[in-house]
Amino acid sequence: MKFDFKRYHVRAMNATNELEKTSINQELKDFYESLPEDQKTIFNEELQSFLIKEMAAIKSVYDGVKENGLS
């Protein structure tokens, strides 16, 4: 199974306020809680991989900005 973390991430980034972000977070937590135990392990592994990729992308953009003297 492949979980669509990007969908939650984009929705949270585009949320208009903290209440909406909290609601999206709760939706993801509720989804996690509804999973069978064996799927929770896969979910956690895929979430960790997604977060690592997102952090690497952010770092790449930051390093590019820093190198160009834009920070």
Note the pLDDT of residue 29: 96
Question: Distance between CA 64 and CA 48 in Å, rounded?
Answer: 24
Note the pLDDT of residue 65: 78
Question: At residue 69, does pLDDT exceed 80?
Answer: no
The pLDDT tens digits for 5-16 are 999 999 999 999
* Structural domain that includes position 9: 5-67
Question: Distance between CA 47 and CA 49 in Å, rounded?
Answer: 5
The pLDDT tens digits for 15-53 are 999 999 999 999 999 999 999 999 999 999 999 999 999
Longest Cα separation, the chain: 49
Query: How far does CA 20 lie from the centroid of its chain?
Result: 15
Crossing angle between the packed helical segments 5-13 and 18-34, to the nearest 10 degrees? 160
Q: How many domains would you assign to the chain? A: 1
pTM check: above 0.85: no
